Amino acid sequence: MEKIRIGHLSTFYHTALVLMAREETAGELGVPVEWRLFGTGPAIVKAFEKGELDLAYIGLPPAIIGIDKGVDIVCIAGGHIEGTVLSAKNHYRGSPEVPDLGEILRQFTGMSIGVPGNGSIHDVILREYLEKSGLEKDIEVANFAWSDILLEAVVKDKVAAAVGTPALAVSVNRYAGGKILYPPSQLWPYNPSYGILAARDFLVSEKETAEKFLILHEEASSFLRSNAPEAARLISGYVGFVDEEFVLDTLKVSPKYCSMITAEYVASTMEFVKALRRLGYITREMSEGEIFDFALIRAIHPEPAHYEQGLCYS
């Protein structure tokens, strides 16, 4: 093949930025890489639908919505769990002062909570909890195409709170005098904040290239876990507009990185299928086989998963 086309988000804890920063990535894959930046997961799914991508980093709910619509994609590896965070300015109450999420959300009655694109993992989690708390008619969900626009909305009080990535939470803390209101580990445990999605025809025709990529993805995941400060330096240097401390703080918010697709990862994803059907995002139930292909990652990563290992700082 002439090149491999990989879609990614601006999220600092995805291995995409590590692999993009390493000059040897293309050589190790044996093919040039075209990295394409997107604002949200749903936008990545649209690119898959148009045949513009081979692989991508994406939360599982947008992928499920795409599969329901006939987009021929499949999850071939994990990446990170529990990457959705509720944050707001300091004057709002949160955990552990207020341990109940429904009570925390009730503070925003009559207000708006900002979240990335409609159908993103963050959007689905927020809407699910608003419905469970009976607040879906009392709190407006405001969707944003890019996280930096959402951050500005928090700073200018256009929205009262934000639900999004750890990087967004760190930005709210740094630039809006904010804080995390509820631990990401409790906001839908084991939620598949991102995995590696592949076009099925690419997986069939370029299996060896896909396998090489997953090996690099696992190595980069290990690097994030085993030497977080060095990873923060590499990512900060590559991005250019964020400092090492910001990246390291982002990694610390939800330090659960691995390429394996675990039983918990799958079970959480299948709970999303139920929620997506209930909320009207998809039209039918799905089986694991429609969403996952475990073959390559189980061959590459036969040992137990590392999500709970945490970060090493030396």
CB 51 within 8 A of CB 269: no
Residues 6+ apart with CB under 8 A from 304: 260
- Every domain of the chain with CATH number 3.40.190.10 lies at 4-81+190-309, 85-182
Tokens of 28: 């190790």
Structurally, at CATH architecture level, domain 4-81+190-309 sits in: 3-Layer(aba) Sandwich (3.40)
pLDDT value, residue 147: 80
**CATH number, domain 85-182:** 3.40.190.10
Answer yes or no: pTM beyond 0.85: yes
How many helices (H) does the chain have, and how many strands (E)?
A: 15, 10
Tokens of 177: 């005098």
d(CA 96, CA 13): 26
Whose CA is closest to 150, among 183, 109, 112, 181? Answer: 112
Query: The tokens 């997506």 sit on which residue?
Result: 276
pLDDT value, residue 241: 87
Examine residue 96 and say whether the peptide bond preceding it is cis (omega within 30 degrees of 0): yes
Residues with pLDDT less than 50, the chain: none
CB 85 within 8 A of CB 254: yes
d(CA 55, CA 59): 13
CB 84 within 8 A of CB 184: yes
